[in-house]
Structure 1
């Protein structure tokens, strides 16, 4: 098998190819897909720091895998969708980790351990992706399940950041 070049040059004029044809790279669809892709990469950074926490590493990898399906669903590729089961899985994971934490009555200042801080950054990247998806979904027939998925994911990332910091004895600074 002949190795392909790592570039094609077909996007040099600001258009990219999708399953539905060529579209502008600055379209709301590509903004949403790019934001989710950035989130996948940011979660990869978090995973690289989570090697001492197999359960968290496994959870983050499962989320990354789901986000690839998420982008395919944004592109309306047949057979790819985000379901209520995906949202419920995030809720279950969030509640599992949250049950190990004290109640929180004030905002916390993101930080703590390197992994905890990275998970907080991941949460904010997730929120940006959520805003891009909301903009896109309300231009077409809104799929609120996709929106709910990112909303729940940001909650999971917040709880994971708190959990990791708690495990490692990092004090939560209250705002």
Structure 2
């Protein structure tokens, strides 16, 4: 492990810059800082899911592993040229996704965010994940970003959608379905 902070504030960022993991300094609003900052936000929203009541052990185990992966991904984005997320991590996500999705009934309608606190938090994590993916894509247009970062986030958003369904069904609230018929005018 690198240097440990004995003092939390350094004042080095007071000028609007921050240090990357390789020691270089960039603006705090740079695309790279935005991307790894949103990955950090995503990790925090997954923490909200895990802090919710009624999260089954298999979901807890899967999302805890995801939190570790996201910490690695943040490190990869913070240190240009670093490789910390690999194809095997994406393949593992796909296996977990399939295991959670296989027992679910096929979707016939769109699902609204809801279905209990844990499911709602998971839907929030899914939307933050999509934003992180967009920010990684934007960064990749300007700087070198390994394709595994984007692929991991793409697969993770799918997993979070499926886990939201699992959590909603387990909570007893059930999935909240979009009512596309609500706007139709009644016949006179």
1:97 counterpart residue number: 100
2:88 paired with 1:85: yes
- Work out the number of aligned pairs and report it: 173
Of 123, 127, 152, which residue of structure 2 is paired with 1:124? Answer: 127
The normalised TM-score by structure 1 is 0.91
Secondary structure in structure 2 of the residue aligned to 1:133: helix
Distance 1:164 1:129, change over 3 A: same
Structure ID, larger Rg:
2
Unaligned runs of 5+ in 2: 179-188
Unaligned runs of 5+ in 1: none
1:42 counterpart residue number: 45
Displacement of 1:49: 1.1
Distance 1:51 1:12, change over 3 A: farther
Is the CA contact 1:50–1:56 (under 8 Å) kept in the aligned structure 2? no
1:11 counterpart residue number: 13
The normalised TM-score by structure 2 is 0.85
Moved more, 32-41 or 80-89: 80-89
Of 58, 61, 65, which residue of structure 2 is paired with 1:62? Answer: 65
Displacement of 1:50: 5.1
